[in-house]
Amino acid sequence: MENLKKDDIEIDYVFWHQGESEIKKANKLYYQNYNNDIQLIFQKFLTNSKKTKIGMALVSVCNSEKSKSLINSQRSIIKSNDRVFFTLNTDNLGSLYRYDGCHFNSLGAAVIGEKYAAFINKFNK
């Protein structure tokens, strides 16, 4: 971030797409830490540039199970800052798109890439 600032480079958009593979062991403290950790990372981007916005995806499926608590945490992060916005919900991509019931295979990555490309094209109009 310091090098970007030094070189007078500003980031317009960051797209955040992250789930959690430890979801089965999660408790209330886990989700509080998740929220705090993501907020800290986002603040580094947001304080570096007043024009940066962050698009966050809803991502919770792991071991072929959805996590309502993780989705709620992600929605809370999106709602907590007017420079953070919703992009995609990839929980609807089933086992055909995942190589281990959690992480995306090449087909899943292609579908997600197409969705992000369409999303980015909206900004260029």
pLDDT of residue 22: 65
13-61: per-residue pLDDT in tens? 999 998 776 666 778 888 888 899 999 999 999 988 888 999 999 999 9
pLDDT of residue 16: 95
121: tokens are 């094209």
**pLDDT band (50, 70, 90) for residue 63:** confident
pLDDT at 74 over 70: yes
> 68-79 vs 28-48: helix axis angle to the nearest 10?
30
- 2-93: what fold? Rossmann fold (3.40.50)
